[in-house]
Structure 1
Amino acid sequence: MQDPEIPGASIVFDRVEKTFEKPGGAPFRALEQASLTVEPGAITGVIGRSGAGKSTLLRMVNGLETPSAGRVIVDGRDVGAARGSALREIRRSVGMIFQHFNLLSSRSVYGNVALPLEIDGTPAGEIRTRVNDLLARVGLEGLRDRYPAELSGGQKQRVGIARALATRPRVLLSDEATSALDPETTQTVLRLLAEINRDLGLTILLITHEMTVVRDIATHMAVIDAGRIVEAGPTYDLFTRPQHETTRSFLSGITGVTLPSFIAGRLVPARPAGPAQEVLRITFAGPHATEPMLARLTAELGIGVNILAGAIEEIGPHPFGKLLVSIDAARGDEARAYLQRHQLLAEVLGYVG
């Protein structure tokens, strides 16, 4: 039996601040004027280094942390101001999966998934139907009587995901849910989260320090640095045209393309006198990303292009690539203008005489 569609809820972080008091020491400010809007039904990745404040931000969505200033709004409800039954209702609508699974070793797979429903007072017959449906959804129906010690890391995380879905939440939080897994298992878990988002319409907010996780699953992303959201938007936009240095630093590991040493060692910043080659970094994004623009450049303008290095990525359904090329420096302005007219970014890296 399929779950009914659960419309995802919006999440708004409105100038959120969080300061932790330290006995005998100076207060630590984990978040500072952090603002971010998470669209309903989106998969939004928040990426930052260790200590940047991303876990604190995530824990505010279900009231595990409260802001020192500012507001966190989930589906129109102020989480920090909620108390009693109102806070319990918000928490019921927010599921969470953890880096280290947080399963009860004394309970079977079935028992772990059933736990939130038991706490909620759900009738036994309804629990049985719900848990069986969830185990089928995450591909663990044959392991219902196993215990966590008998499971692989990927299977434990699937149990965690099923448990997080038990109360039919509208928001799913992922706290570094794949960082303890090997690359192949990570991809399996990410595909499962994408399927859940597609089938149920949940809003998924995940935190990670791995840019590849954001690339592979997130429709939107935010970059947090020293407690501030420094850049946010659609994932493709931030990958192809990052504005902040922190974003560019994260991207360098997966979209960086380096010059061959025999070129890099001769590169100079200013165009030398006489014949020279201009070295360009061309970013392929937008509507012309898959078109043979360099071949067209040569055919239409007669400008030869020497490809030095390159890499192609796929961000969601969109292609994105970078090429390092060299062209006749005397025709550099003409070539760059042609590429920019076709919405390709061309940057001069230097010159080789």
Structure 2
Amino acid sequence: MQRETSAGAAILFDDVGKTYPQKGAGSVMALEGISLEVPAGAITGIIGRSGAGKSTLMRMVNGLEKPTSGRITVGGRDVGAAHGAALREIRREVGMIFQHFNLLSSRTVLENVALPMEIAGVPRGQIRTRASDLVARVGLEKLANRYPAELSGGQKQRVGIARALATEPKVLLSDEATSALDPETTQTVLKLLADINRDLGLTVLLITHEMAVVRDIASHMAVIDGGRIVEAGETYDIFTTPQHPTTRSFLSGVTGVTLPRFIAEQMVTERPEGPAREVIRITFLGDKATDPLLAQMSAALGLDVNILAGAIEEIGPRPFGNLLISVPADRGAEARSYLETHQQRTEVLGYVR
């Protein structure tokens, strides 16, 4: 039975699979059993390693690839079943930002932005006005008559974003749009995407292999591995309670706080005989992430607490922190009970003498 697009879902992947024929005989699976709802008006990130199937998934949203099985709907319309004028109409409502910009070198900034409207048959007078407005929106009005060769990578990507908005889409697709940019320029482009999402109410679907990009911009996310979605949900929930090993692997470089090497080299998994200390990871969530909880616990329990490493950051507007501490091993259970009573998560990492 085919499922109708859920209320609030701008894009729906319904048990989608994609295979490609191999030379000789057989086929290779690129995607299998993909079911995902992309909320309307939200920024959703799809993260996965190279070859995981991210780009194939993205290309099916605007009909550049057809699913082998299942169904993809955009605004309630089946993309895979659309042809001719119906497919062109869907594509006008789905803007695309590319990793390598894909600008025409022979056209100025303004002319590159105008191109989709020319193809769509928009009247010439409207084209120039709208193209100028879009160039101004991305902060390039002083460079409107420059050519791509005269622009930096960040400026080229801003032109790409303006061009993607030219046909007034309802959905914006971003295919590794920041992977070719330096960190500072990446933050500028991400802020621009967030502003566009807020101001225009666009649904943004972005694919990336960088967890920091998802953390900084996406309210929802999905992790794809080996052609399957292994975890999906709100970004904050996945960052704070990852369930799948692939997710935890990605997160280790973003939210992972590592022990000083001299401690890590001494640590054992089983509690040793004699005096020892238990090493605990505390995950601080929500409003309590900035509370002086360790000081309170030390005073309440008369406990010797040693802070080994830690960091607090924001995921969206909500704080999230990791802290590594050590306490006397014979009082570890007591410390963990206190912390969990105060709504923090704890994990025993090991023991040191």
Fold conserved between structures, TM > 0.5: yes
Give the SS at the match of 2:61. coil
Structure 1: distance between partners of 2:62 and 2:338: 51
Structure 1: distance between partners of 2:290 and 2:76: 41
Structure 1 residue 22 displacement after superposition: 2.1
Contact 1:9 1:203 in 2 (8 A): no
Structure 2: distance between partners of 1:287 and 1:263: 30
| Identical-residue share of aligned pairs (%) | 74
Q: Deviations over 1:240-285 (max 9, x none)?
A: 1100000000011122222222222222222223332111011111
Unaligned runs of at least 5 residues, structure 2: 1-7
Q: Deviations over 1:161-191 (max 9, x none)?
A: 0000001000000000111111111111111
The letter of the residue matching 1:131 is A
Structure 2 partner of 1:37: 37
Give the SS at the match of 2:271. coil
Contact 2:289 2:312 in 1 (8 A): no
Structure 1: distance between partners of 2:266 and 2:127: 69
Give the SS at the match of 2:67. coil
Structure 2 partner of 1:351: 351
The letter of the residue matching 2:239 is F
Structure 1 partner of 2:174: 174
Structure 2 residue 94 is matched with structure 1 residue 59: no
Q: Which moved more, 1:43-52 or 1:16-25?
A: 16-25
Structure 2: distance between partners of 1:352 and 1:173: 49
RMSD (Å), alpha carbons: 1.2
Q: Deviations over 1:35-88 (max 9, x none)?
A: 111000110110000000000000111000110001111111111011221111
Structure 1: distance between partners of 2:182 and 2:142: 23
Contact 2:164 2:172 in 1 (8 A): yes
Contact 2:284 2:345 in 1 (8 A): yes
Structure 2 partner of 1:18: 18
Structure 1 partner of 2:47: 47
Structure 1: distance between partners of 2:112 and 2:19: 34
Structure 2 partner of 1:75: 75
Structure 1 partner of 2:85: 85
Give the SS at the match of 1:255. coil
Q: TM-score, normalised by structure 1?
A: 0.95
Structure 1: distance between partners of 2:341 and 2:78: 47
Structure 2: distance between partners of 1:23 and 1:269: 50
Give the SS at the match of 2:253. helix
Contact 2:44 2:219 in 1 (8 A): yes
Structure 2: distance between partners of 1:175 and 1:126: 28
Give the SS at the match of 1:253. coil
Structure 1 residue 126 displacement after superposition: 0.8
Contact 2:287 2:318 in 1 (8 A): no
Q: Which has the higher relative contact order, 1 or 2, with Cα contacts under 8 A spaced 6 or more apart?
A: 1
Structure 1: distance between partners of 2:9 and 2:87: 16
Structure 2 partner of 1:4: none
Structure 2 partner of 1:203: 203
Q: TM-score, normalised by structure 2?
A: 0.95
